[in-house]
Every structure is written in C-alpha cells, then in structure tokens.
C-alpha cells in the first residue's frame, strides 16, 4: 500500500508535508505509511485516496486482486468516508454551509 500511496502522491505533484497537512497527519506518519511501517486508519486511507484522486481499492492491492464487488465497495465506502471527513473538517474550520 505504501508504494502505491507514494506513487499516487508523486503523480499528484505533492510532497509528503503537503499530503500530511491535507489529511491531518504528520509528515512523519506519511513517511511511515509510504515505507510500510505504519498503516493509516480506514477513514484516513479514504481521505488520502480522495486527496490523491484515486480509489481506496487502488491503494490496496489485496482488494484489487479480488476484483468485482470487492474493488467497487471499498471505493464507494471511501467516497462516503471522505465526504463525512470533509464535512467534519468544514465544521471544525467553521466554514460548513457558507457560500
């Protein structure tokens, strides 16, 4: 998973510190995740996937190997989790519902 996150981050032209700030983690956590020594919690994985504009299934090779529903369902859940996480961030920032 770490190598896929690293590749997607580089494809998005982000450095670790930028991704960390966007998903609410430390740069050290992103380094550890990319190195494979730390796994993000599922809701953070969903947010990382959303920020990098990939599906959570794209970041989890085990799910991609299963195919079919196994790859679609995590993407659906990842999108829902990313939406909830985004709304929570807006509420924390005080910008929820403002246009």
The predicted-structure confidence for 70-84, as pLDDT tens digits, reads as follows: 445 456 666 666 677
Q: pTM above 0.75?
A: no
Q: Which CATH superfamily is domain 2-93 in?
A: lambda repressor-like DNA-binding domains (1.10.260.40)
Residues 6+ apart with CB under 8 A from 60: 1, 4, 45, 74
Q: In the chain, where are the structural domains located?
A: 2-93
Q: Band the pLDDT of 59: cuts 50, 70, 90.
A: confident
6-30 pLDDT, tens digit per residue, is: 999 999 999 999 999 999 999 999 9
- On the question of pLDDT at 65 being above 60, the answer is no
| Gap between the Cα atoms of 75 and 83, Å rounded | 12
Residue burial 25-63, b: 16+ Cβ < 10 Å; e: rest: beeebbbbbbeeeeebeebbbbbbbbbbebbbbbbbeeb
What pLDDT is attached to residue 3? 93
The yes-or-no verdict on residue 96 having pLDDT over 60 is: no
């Amino acid at each position: 998973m770490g190598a896929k996150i690293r590749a997607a981050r580089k494809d998005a032209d982000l450095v670790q510190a930028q991704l960390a700030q966007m998903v609410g983690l430390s740069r050290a956590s992103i380094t550890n995740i990319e190195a494979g020594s730390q796994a993000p919690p599922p809701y953070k994985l969903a947010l990382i996937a959303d920020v990098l504009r990939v599906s959570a299934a794209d970041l989890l090779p085990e799910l991609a190997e299963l195919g079919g529903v196994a790859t679609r369902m995590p993407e659906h859940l990842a999108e829902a989790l990313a939406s909830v996480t985004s709304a929570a961030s807006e509420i924390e920032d005080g910008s929820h519902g403002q246009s």
